[in-house]
């Protein structure tokens, strides 16, 4: 895992006050990271335009242009004449080196555009002039590098009208949480963390959120030789009106290593099951239960599962019975944004629309996890796992996973981990990574990916 922080402002201040650095030293190191990236990606002699605002983000950008001038043809374009003192200092040096300033933004023949307009300090919607400029820049075929934050993206990960579409974002000092929002995913490109002259363990505090990596995936193991199916858990899946969702969940739980998988059919009609899946008429003997997927209007006694670890999904988030599960330490909740909005309303957390949820995913997930006991797995382009106010973000999901039944397969994967004795948090972290890795490993065209491919992919993790 890598650490994620909301902001590095306090860390910058600490470096200045306690490590006897100054802002210009930090900016030199920031600029060097940008310049080094350009040298790796761009041929000598290429044309670079550096678009600058008037703050410290622009100071980093100007310093980078100065470092590159001579080997590259660098020009500065300013969106404002109101420059802070650091900016003025960096501009004075850059001009002496030979970096030119252009009065009009001309992008003809440009090979690289560096964004030093706002950084993470943006706190209001962009004006029309800036919107037009960003749309113009985004349509240019050139290497695009954002400094700290792509302009138009604010600290909470919201897009304020438009956004610079970067190939690379060089974030300064530490990785920022806002770069990993759903809205940011199409704009940040590859995220590179710059060392500002102090290693992260000295620069930042220990309290953080976390970014998941594939190396964090811990799979079930069967290293003990003297064992039997009972040692790997009995997973139960509640089947309601739409049996297909329950079947997908059950097959995923089995493939993820559950020793046994049974389906409790609440539907009056019979269903055909794979021979590996058993059918039960009660929850007796369950080590873990998945409920909600395809449930519809089917009913069961919620009290029967209160003492059993469970994965809760889909239709359960529209039922008041969900309130009985909100204080279970051994539960995992897996809503998508619409379902989460309903859950927040039922739990009297607040009246939120889908748009509200998407604008405030980090804040709502954090506060919900502080108030309620289960692990929250908030689905989206970048999945958020929240427990006790700490966020774990996985940005490894691909568009291939945007297919009906994908969430049912995820629930089965989580159920498989839970039935085998993983804690709800560990089951969630590993389950999300396993789910996403099946898509990353898929070799065929992305549009052809199905829940069955997720299930098949589990055997190759």
Please write the tens of the pLDDT for every residue from 431-440.
999 999 999 9
> What is the per-residue pLDDT for 128?
96
Per the structure, the count of domains in the chain is 2
Asked whether residue 83 is marked as a ligand-binding residue, the answer is no
Task: For residue 299, count CB atoms less than 10 angstroms from its CB and return exposed for 0-12, middle for 13-18, buried for 19 or more.
Answer: exposed
Mean pLDDT confidence for 32-47: 97
* Sheet strands (E) in 122-255: 143-147, 168-172, 175-176, 190-194, 209-211, 234-239
Asked whether residue 123 is marked as a ligand-binding residue, the answer is yes
* pLDDT of 155 strictly over 90: yes
**Last residue in a domain, options 173, 206, 239:** 206
- Residue 309's domain spans which residues? 215-458
Q: Are residues 190 and 296 in the same domain?
A: no
Asked whether residue 430 is marked as a ligand-binding residue, the answer is no
Count Cα atoms within 13 angstroms, Cβ side, for 16. 12
Mean pLDDT confidence for 157-169: 97
Q: Are residues 195 and 224 in the same domain?
A: no
**Last residue in a domain, options 148, 175, 206:** 206
Distance of CA 237 to the CA centre of its chain: 28
Asked whether residue 122 is marked as a ligand-binding residue, the answer is yes
Q: Are residues 120 and 173 in the same domain?
A: yes
Q: Are residues 228 and 372 in the same domain?
A: yes
Q: Are residues 393 and 454 in the same domain?
A: yes
Asked whether residue 148 is marked as a ligand-binding residue, the answer is yes
* Cα separation, 118 vs 53, whole angstroms: 6
> What is the per-residue pLDDT for 154?
96
Q: Are residues 79 and 131 in the same domain?
A: yes
* pLDDT of 96 strictly over 80: yes
Q: What is the pLDDT of residues 191-226, one digit of tens each?
A: 999 999 988 888 887 789 999 999 999 999 989 999
Of 179, 173, 147, 150, the closest CA to residue 59 belongs to 147
Q: Are residues 156 and 291 in the same domain?
A: no
Asked whether residue 360 is marked as a ligand-binding residue, the answer is no
Q: Are residues 128 and 234 in the same domain?
A: no
pTM of the shown model: 0.95
Of 323, 358, 366, the closest CA to residue 341 belongs to 358
* pLDDT of 268 strictly over 80: no
Q: Are residues 251 and 355 in the same domain?
A: yes
Mean pLDDT confidence for 401-424: 98
Q: Are residues 198 and 111 in the same domain?
A: yes
Strand ordering across the sheet containing 112-116: 100-101, 73-78, 47-52, 112-116, 143-147, 168-172, 190-194
> What is the per-residue pLDDT for 289?
98
Average pLDDT over the chain, rounded to an integer? 95
Distance of CA 373 to the CA centre of its chain: 22
**Last residue in a domain, options 206, 237, 263:** 206
* pLDDT of 231 strictly over 80: yes
Q: Are residues 172 and 285 in the same domain?
A: no
Q: Are residues 334 and 286 in the same domain?
A: yes
pLDDT-derived band at 121, boundaries 50, 70, 90: confident
Asked whether residue 120 is marked as a ligand-binding residue, the answer is yes
- Tell me the Ramachandran region of residue 447: left when phi exceeds 0, alpha when psi lies from -120 to 50, beta otherwise: alpha
């Amino acid at each position: 895992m890598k650490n994620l922080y909301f902001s590095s402002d306090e860390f910058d201040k600490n470096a200045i006050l306690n490590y006897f650095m100054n802002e210009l030293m930090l900016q030199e190191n920031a600029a060097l990271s940008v310049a080094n990236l350009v040298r790796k990606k761009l041929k000598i002699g290429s044309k670079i335009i550096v678009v600058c605002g008037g703050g410290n983000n622009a100071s980093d950008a100007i310093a980078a242009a100065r470092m590159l001038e001579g080997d590259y043809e660098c020009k500065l374009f300013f969106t404002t004449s109101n420059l802070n003192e650091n900016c003025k200092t960096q501009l004075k040096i850059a001009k002496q080196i030979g970096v030119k300033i252009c009065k009009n933004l001309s992008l003809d023949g440009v090979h690289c555009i560096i964004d030093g307009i706002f950084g993470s300090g943006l706190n209001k919607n962009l004006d029309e002039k800036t919107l037009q400029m960003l749309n113009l820049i985004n349509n240019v075929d050139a290497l695009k590098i954002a400094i700290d934050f792509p302009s138009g993206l604010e600290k909470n990960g919201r897009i304020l009208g438009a956004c610079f579409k970067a190939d690379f974002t060089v974030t300064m000092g530490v990785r920022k949480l806002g770069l990993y929002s759903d809205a940011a995913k199409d704009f940040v490109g590859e995220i590179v963390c710059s060392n500002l002259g102090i290693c992260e363990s000295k620069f930042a505090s220990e309290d953080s959120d976390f970014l998941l990596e594939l190396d964090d995936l811990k799979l079930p193991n069967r290293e003990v030789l003297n064992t039997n199916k009972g040692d790997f858990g009995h997973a139960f899946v509640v089947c309601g009106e739409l049996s297909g969702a329950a079947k997908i969940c059950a097959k995923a739980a089995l493939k993820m290593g559950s020793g046994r998988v049974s389906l409790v059919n609440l539907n009056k009609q019979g269903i055909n099951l794979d021979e590996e899946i058993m059918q039960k008429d009660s929850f007796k003997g369950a080590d873990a239960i998945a409920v909600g997927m395809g449930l519809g209007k089917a009913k069961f006694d919620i009290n029967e599962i209160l003492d059993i670890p469970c994965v809760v999904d889909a239709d359960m988030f529209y039922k008041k019975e969900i309130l009985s599960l909100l204080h279970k330490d051994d539960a995992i909740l897996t809503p998508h944004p619409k379902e989460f909005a309903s859950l927040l309303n039922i739990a009297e957390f607040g009246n939120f629309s889908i748009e509200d949820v998407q604008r405030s995913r980090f804040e709502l997930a954090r506060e919900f996890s502080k108030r309620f006991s289960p692990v929250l797995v908030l689905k989206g382009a970048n999945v958020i796992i929240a427990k006790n106010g700490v966020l774990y973000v996985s940005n490894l999901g691909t568009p291939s996973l945007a297919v009906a039944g994908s969430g049912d397969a995820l629930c089965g994967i989580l159920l498989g981990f839970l039935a085998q004795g993983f804690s709800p948090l560990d089951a969630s972290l590993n389950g999300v990574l396993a789910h996403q890795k099946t898509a990353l490993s898929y070799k065929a065209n992305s549009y052809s990916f199905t829940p069955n491919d997720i299930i098949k992919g589990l055997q190759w993790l």
